[in-house]
Structure 1
Amino acid sequence: MNNFAPKAWPHATLMGAEFRSYDEDTQTITMGFSAPSSFITPRGSVQGGLVAGFLDEAMGWAYTYSTKGTHSPLMLDVNFSLLKPVLQGPLTAKGRVVKAGRRVLFLEAELFDADEKLLARATSTCIPTENPEL
């Protein structure tokens, strides 16, 4: 059992981030997010860069959980695809560690609406970095 508990950083609070579960066997985290009205564009959907933020957060926490909080990813690149408009309201993200080496990490995430429809997906290449004692 992973006893690591994340801190509520201000950016995560802004996104309505909440931890739901972590599966150590698959190194997959499930997180909830809430897209507030301030994230909505005149077209009625969440601004794309903010969607990338939900995915980035899930990928990062998946790796951090896999190390029990000792390390976090330093993102080198993030690629994401918007498959459907992301509307205001509750969202679920699943982030996974695809491969974790000593020098490079590969992460991925998917974002779903309340009806479990896939809205967006992302991949990232990262450098593993040790977390400072905070």
Structure 2
Amino acid sequence: MTDEEILHRFNTCPQPASTTLGAEVLDIDTSAGKVTLRCTATREHCHSVDWNPKGGIVQGGFVTGWLDAAMATACIARAKFAVSVPSLEIKVSFLAPAHPGIYLAKGWIQRWGRTIAFLEGDLRDTSGKLIATASSTAMLAPLPATANANAA
């Protein structure tokens, strides 16, 4: 599969979690092990909606979800949908609040092992301001060939 075919597959068959998160895959570079997601934060992703003049502050679980999705997508793309990527651990550093709007979540592979991947990611607003960073350790769980073929 080419990067364009992988991108098409992600965006025509989105995972339910991606829909809930408001995430869309924008760019894939499997040779570099990198992806970029566009994440749309809505008031429904926020707490403190009523008193905050910017429409609320995005709950940290959604920020974590965007970063986790970007990092996992990098793995799934590299493996061409042949693995699932359960997180073994994830660390997020929240550097600035996110408010309703558009964000870019980038995820990349730091190290790819036989059964484990080490991943990193960051979340930025559209002006490039760094909102959060993440690192993760994920299991590379092979999917049966029939599951991968059926998903195509």
TM range, smaller chain: over 0.9
CA distance in 1, matches of 2:123, 2:79: 23
Q: Report what 2:101 is aligned to.
A: 89
Find the aligned partners of 2:67 and 2:143 in 1 and give their Cα distance. Answer: 21
Q: Is the 1:40–1:46 Cα contact (8 Å) retained in structure 2?
A: yes
- Structure-2 residue corresponding to 1:78: 90
Corresponding residue for residue 115 of structure 1: 127
Name 1:39's counterpart in structure 2. 45
Name the counterpart of 1:59: 71
**How far apart, in 2, do the equivalents of 1:104 and 1:37 lie?**
36
8 Å CA contact 2:30–2:74 kept in 1: the answer is no
CA distance in 2, matches of 1:17, 1:59: 13
CA shift digits 1:83-103 (9 cap, x unpaired):
000111111011001111012
Q: Which amino acid in the other structure matches residue 20 of structure 2?
A: L
Runs of 4+ in 1 over 2 A off after TM superposition: 1-4
User: Do the aligned residues in 2 keep the contact of 1:104 with 1:128 (CA within 8 Å)?
Assistant: yes
Preserved CA contact (<8 Å) 1:27 1:97: yes
Gaps of 5+ in 1: none
Determine if contact 1:75/1:124 at 8 Å carries over to the other structure: yes
Larger Rg: 2
Task: Please give the TM-score of this superposition, normalised by the length of structure 1.
Answer: 0.93
Task: Tell me how large the CA RMSD over aligned residues is.
Answer: 1.3
Contact 2:31 2:78 in 1 (8 A): no
Using structure 2 for the length normalisation, give the TM-score: 0.83
Aligned partners of 2:73 and 2:107 also within 8 Å: yes
Which residue of 2 is the match for residue 14 of structure 1?
20
Q: Distance in 2 between matches of 1:118 and 1:21?
A: 19
